[in-house]
């Protein structure tokens, strides 16, 4: 049947002078289509391609003589796809532009290449899939085609080949992933229910060393097989297939970690634990490879994942997990809801332990990366929270992170946390710290105690007075270098050794709570921002050089650190506690020898500290103690002489956060003037006034930028914190009969004095009584000055 007449009749003369290239018998067209399909699927370049459905139906030829458009509409969808991609070109694309002046709309017509044209095109495609313009021009002349037709044919042919390759490689990768997933499931099942090969009974982990080795080798072989397939596919497609492999199946846990996971007493948790709600980023949940170093490290990994999941949920969930209390003005943890939401990841609470929990959100002037680096470095962490961390160290590094970042870093740490009072023991905690990036600019750092794991693994342990449940912070970047920090503190502790004066403060979550951590972080970041600024704050002593400012601040930092160590009796120094009958019950007296320490005078150092409650607001008490003009009202050592501030270095926007150098004028000829270095700071968690007499020539060297490490000093001072609910404050009532408690302050007074310049000398009772009297007189003078003697 000839289609020429049909085309002429259907056109109705509307095509004008358009050339119709369709005067080819239908049987020839069908033969061309068959040849085209045969060439496509027998091509050596597509040996991996999947077989496609055959094209055409010869029986349709007898029904296509009346109208060409009707025959196009009845073609099958698969035939049309093959025709367009391999052998057909839309007439509007291939270049029939002779009727460009005629604007009447007309339907697009298709041009089918002849078998000879297809054969020539396929032959060149095998040799050169990307012909240049010269080759396309030569081929178009030889085949009587337009250059655009040749160009579009090659584009369609490459797209068709790429699609078939991807389809085939997807199938291969899917099969490989299915095999690896099945292998992984069998390994997990074997580890959950290990069977001894000798007796057939349950086996302990230690009996599986040989089987573990075989499983590890098999796992490595399967991973190499997958890598080989991915490399082969990457070679064909010209791009890496890591994203394609992970899109076919979810990422598998690390093969090195699979051998140590399973049921271990943590609620059946596994390495595929979700790490909390999605923050909207595209960061992987997988962890870096941890060398298989025994069962304990695998348990640490599971504990880190569970703790991170709990921290993120506690930082994001509001009611009913956290209930805001109007009475105390902060959030309180709903323990019933907590028990319903979470499985205890470190076991049940020991008998007699109390629970404290708190959450606080604040904005600090530091970016998330800098804060994460600070938290993961033990020395920088202690410097960021000098009044809260007495001592800390990193005992082991399970993982250092991925890609040169802290994402996925896991390390074991030891820390001594302190509240500045001799009536509150130092909290020693051994914990795991895990850092994870949840999204771009969103990080989380979680701590959780590991004492329960040490007991399970048989490691030596001591009596634990404090357990750190999943606690830490979630940090999110904000504009202009700020970060939003959500801090969660959750601790179980034994209060039997805590003085009754501080028990309400600790049980309410104020003493070691999240509010104190966030307040200290905000104050310290503000201080660092001011110190790094090139401008000198208003009120600073402009005569001090930049190097002199740094030296004075470094000296003040050492002074405050030694003061805190003397108050809390941490292991920074070796203190010996004294039990003397004439010392007040709430006064703790300790002694130590100072030898070969250039920053302290040599000899016997005596430290005495006590804490009292005063019915005075923390702000009023702080302003009174830091004011050099009122110093003579409480400082016995000043001999009643006036004080003058001769140097001032700001450490924050609040005028009370500063380092000062005070000069005491001599009252008579027998007295000599002296210098006093003083540091004061205040935030929502409390305030501090620390001072120490210093030598005038030594301070002149420091203010000139000299080394401050050789300036000998012994610090004394005060620590002030707000009292908590239940503290022994009086109550007042209004005319309606309603009563409320009067807020007060918990004041800690501490002195360090050199009682003998010979380290080998023996301490006398008179020296102890002198220091005890010094504390008692100072407290009485403060009460009298503030009119709170009762």
pLDDT at residue 399, as a whole number? 87
d(CA 253, CA 302): 12
d(CA 486, CA 374): 16
List residues bridging with 110 in a β-sheet.
90
The answer to whether position 142 is within a domain reads no
Three-class secondary structure of residue 237 per DSSP: helix
> What average pLDDT does the chain have?
75
Q: In 598-688, where does DSSP find H-type helix?
A: 618-626
409 & 489 share domain: yes
d(CA 422, CA 587): 8
CB 112 within 8 A of CB 153: no
pLDDT at residue 235, as a whole number? 52
pLDDT at residue 311, as a whole number? 95
Helix or strand run (H / E) with residue 316? helix 295-316
Residue at a domain's end among 481, 506, 530 = 530
The answer to whether position 132 is within a domain reads no
User: What average pLDDT score do residues 300-316 get?
Assistant: 92
DSSP code of residue 436? E
586 & 507 share domain: no
d(CA 384, CA 485): 15
644 & 526 share domain: no
512 & 615 share domain: no
pLDDT level of residue 352 (50, 70, 90 thresholds):
confident
Which of the residue ranges 84-88, 231-235, 252-256, 615-619 would you say has the lowest mean pLDDT? 252-256
CB 3 within 8 A of CB 71: no
- Find, among 614, 615, 647, the residue nearest to 628 by Cα: 647
pLDDT at residue 613, as a whole number? 92
- Find, among 152, 88, 78, the residue nearest to 118 by Cα: 88
d(CA 308, CA 299): 14
**What is the sign of the dihedral through the CA atoms of 335, 341, 346 and 351?**
positive
List residues bridging with 90 in a β-sheet.
110
139-174 pLDDT tens trace: 888 888 888 888 999 999 899 988 988 888 898 898
The answer to whether position 109 is within a domain reads no
Burial class (CB in 10 A: 0-12, 13-18, 19+), 324: exposed
* Sequence-separated (6 or more) residues with CB below 8 Å from residue 439: 279, 280, 281, 282, 283
Q: Greatest CA span in the chain, whole angstroms?
A: 134
414 & 509 share domain: yes
Residue with tokens 């069977």: 195
The answer to whether position 135 is within a domain reads no
pLDDT level of residue 83 (50, 70, 90 thresholds):
very low
688 & 763 share domain: yes
Can you say whether residue 16 is alpha, beta or left, with left for phi > 0 and alpha for psi between -120 and 50 degrees?
Answer: left
765 & 635 share domain: yes
The per-residue DSSP string of 269-312 comes to --TT---SS--S-----PPPP-----HHHHHHHHHHHHHHHHHH
- Find, among 322, 726, 275, the residue nearest to 488 by Cα: 322
CB environment 462-473: b (16+ within 10 A), e (fewer): eebbbbbbbbbb
Three-class secondary structure of residue 450 per DSSP: coil
For residue 731, pLDDT over 70 is answered with: no
d(CA 485, CA 477): 9
pLDDT at residue 65, as a whole number? 39
**102's tokens:** 């005629």
556-567 pLDDT tens trace: 999 999 899 888
**389's tokens:** 């961390």
d(CA 334, CA 311): 15
Question: What percent of the chain is predicted at pLDDT more than 70?
Answer: 67
593-605 pLDDT tens trace: 888 777 888 888 8
519 & 657 share domain: no
Terminal CA-to-CA distance of the chain, rounded, Å?
Answer: 121
The answer to whether position 246 is within a domain reads no
pLDDT level of residue 82 (50, 70, 90 thresholds):
very low
* Sequence-separated (6 or more) residues with CB below 8 Å from residue 586: 422, 423, 499, 610, 611, 612
d(CA 257, CA 270): 10
More confident residue, 64 or 362: 362
Residue at a domain's end among 506, 530, 554 = 530
Overall number of domains in the chain: 2
515 & 581 share domain: no
Q: In 396-534, where does DSSP find H-type helix?
A: 451-457, 503-507, 514-532
pLDDT level of residue 94 (50, 70, 90 thresholds):
very low
DSSP code of residue 762? P
Q: Give the start-end residues of each E strand in 587-673.
A: 588-594, 603-614, 643-650, 658-664
503 & 567 share domain: no
446 & 375 share domain: yes
Which of the residue ranges 384-398, 399-413, 639-653, 726-740 would you say has the lowest mean pLDDT? 726-740
For residue 506, pLDDT over 70 is answered with: yes
pLDDT at residue 210, as a whole number? 60
Residue at a domain's end among 530, 552, 571 = 530
Give the pTM.
0.62
The answer to whether position 554 is within a domain reads yes
The answer to whether position 5 is within a domain reads no
460-499 pLDDT tens trace: 444 458 899 999 999 999 988 899 999 999 999 988 888 8
pLDDT at residue 212, as a whole number? 72
CB 606 within 8 A of CB 757: no
**300's tokens:** 């640490």
The answer to whether position 537 is within a domain reads no
DSSP code of residue 58? G
Task: Give the domain CATH number at 631.
Answer: 3.30.530.20
d(CA 784, CA 790): 9
* Sequence-separated (6 or more) residues with CB below 8 Å from residue 272: 253
**34's tokens:** 């068959």
580 & 711 share domain: yes
The residue range of the domain holding 449 is 295-530
pLDDT at residue 34, as a whole number? 44
């Amino acid at each position: 049947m000839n289609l020429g007449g049909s085309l002429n009749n259907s056109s109705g003369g509307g095509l004008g002078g358009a050339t119709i290239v369709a005067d080819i018998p239908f049987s020839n067209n069908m033969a061309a289509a068959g040849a085209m399909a045969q060439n496509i699927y027998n091509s050596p370049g597509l040996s991996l391609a999947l077989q496609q459905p055959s094209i055409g139906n010869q029986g349709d030829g007898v029904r296509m003589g009346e109208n060409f458009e009707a025959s196009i509409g009845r073609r099958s969808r698969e035939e049309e796809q093959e025709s367009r991609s391999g052998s057909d070109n839309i007439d509007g694309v291939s270049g029939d532009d002779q009727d460009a002046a005629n604007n009447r709309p007309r339907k697009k017509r298709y041009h089918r290449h002849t078998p000879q044209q297809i054969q020539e095109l396929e032959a060149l495609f095998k040799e050169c899939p990307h012909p240049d313009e010269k080759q396309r021009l030569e081929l178009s002349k030889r085949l009587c085609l337009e250059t655009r037709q040749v160009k579009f044919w090659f584009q369609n042919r490459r797209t068709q080949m790429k699609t078939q390759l991807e389809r085939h490689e997807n199938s291969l990768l899917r099969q490989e992933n299915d095999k690896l997933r099945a292998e992984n499931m069998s390994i997990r099942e074997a580890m959950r229910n290990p069977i001894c090969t000798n007796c057939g009974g349950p086996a302990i982990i230690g009996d599986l060393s040989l089987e573990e080795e075989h499983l590890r080798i098999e796992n490595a072989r399967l991973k190499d097989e997958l890598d080989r397939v991915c490399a082969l596919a990457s070679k064909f497609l010209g791009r890496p297939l890591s994203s394609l492999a992970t899109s076919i199946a979810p990422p598998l846990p690390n093969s090195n970690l699979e051998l140590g996971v399973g049921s271990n007493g943590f609620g059946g948790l596994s390495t595929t634990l979700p790490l909390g709600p999605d923050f909207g980023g595209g960061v992987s949940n997988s962890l870096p490879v941890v060398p298989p170093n025994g069962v304990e490290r695998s348990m640490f990994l599971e504990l880190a994942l569970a703790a991170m999941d709990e921290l993120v949920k506690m930082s994001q969930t509001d009611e009913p997990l956290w209930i805001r209390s109007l009475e105390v003005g902060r959030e309180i943890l709903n323990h019933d809801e907590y028990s319903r939401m979470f499985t205890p990841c470190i076991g049940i609470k020991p008998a007699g332990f109390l629970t404290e929990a708190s959450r606080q959100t604040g904005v600090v002037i530091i970016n998330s990366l800098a804060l994460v680096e600070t938290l993961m470095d033990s020395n920088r962490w202690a410097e960021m929270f000098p009044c809260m961390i007495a001592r800390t160290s990193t005992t082991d590094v399970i993982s250092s992170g991925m890609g040169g970042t802290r994402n996925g870093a896991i390390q074991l740490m030891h820390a001594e946390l302190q509240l500045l009072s001799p009536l509150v023991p130092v909290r020693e905690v051994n914990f795991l710290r895990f850092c994870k990036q949840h999204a771009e600019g969103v990080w989380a750092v979680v701590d959780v105690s590991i004492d329960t794991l040490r007991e399970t693994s048989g490691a030596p342990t001591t009596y634990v007075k404090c357990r750190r449940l999943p606690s830490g912070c979630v940090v999110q970047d904000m504009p202009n270098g700020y970060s939003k920090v959500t801090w969660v503190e959750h601790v179980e502790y034994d209060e039997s050794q805590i003085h009754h004066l501080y028990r309400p403060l600790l049980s309410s979550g104020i003493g070691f709570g999240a509010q104190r951590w966030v307040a200290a972080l905000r104050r310290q970041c503000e201080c660092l921002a001011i110190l790094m600024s090139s401008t000198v704050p208003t009120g600073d002593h402009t005569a001090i050089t930049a190097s002199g400012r740094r030296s004075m601040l470094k000296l003040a930092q050492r002074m405050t650190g030694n003061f805190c160590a003397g108050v809390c009796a941490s292991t920074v120094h070796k203190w010996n506690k004294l039990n003397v009958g004439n010392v007040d019950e709430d006064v703790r007296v300790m002694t130590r020898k100072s030898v070969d320490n250039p920053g302290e005078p040599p000899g016997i150092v005596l430290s005495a500290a006590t804490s009292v409650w005063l019915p005075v607001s923390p702000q009023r008490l702080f302003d009174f103690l830091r004011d050099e003009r009122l110093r003579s009202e409480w400082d016995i050592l000043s001999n009643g002489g006036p004080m003058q501030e001769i140097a001032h270095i700001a450490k924050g926007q609040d005028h009370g956060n500063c380092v000062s150098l005070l000069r005491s004028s001599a009252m008579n000829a027998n007295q000599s003037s002296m210098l006093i270095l003083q540091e004061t700071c205040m935030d929502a968690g409390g305030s501090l006034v620390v001072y120490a007499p210093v030598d005038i020539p030594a301070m002149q060297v420091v203010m000139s930028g000299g080394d401050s490490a050789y300036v000998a000093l012994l610090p004394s001072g005060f620590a002030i914190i707000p009292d908590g609910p239940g503290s022994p404050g009086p109550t007042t009532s209004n005319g309606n009969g309603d009563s409320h408690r009067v807020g007060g302050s918990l004041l800690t007074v501490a002195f360090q004095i050199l009682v003998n310049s010979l380290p080998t000398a023996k301490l006398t009772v008179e020296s102890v009584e002198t220091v005890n009297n010094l504390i008692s007189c100072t407290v009485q003078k403060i009460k009298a000055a503030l009119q709170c003697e009762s």
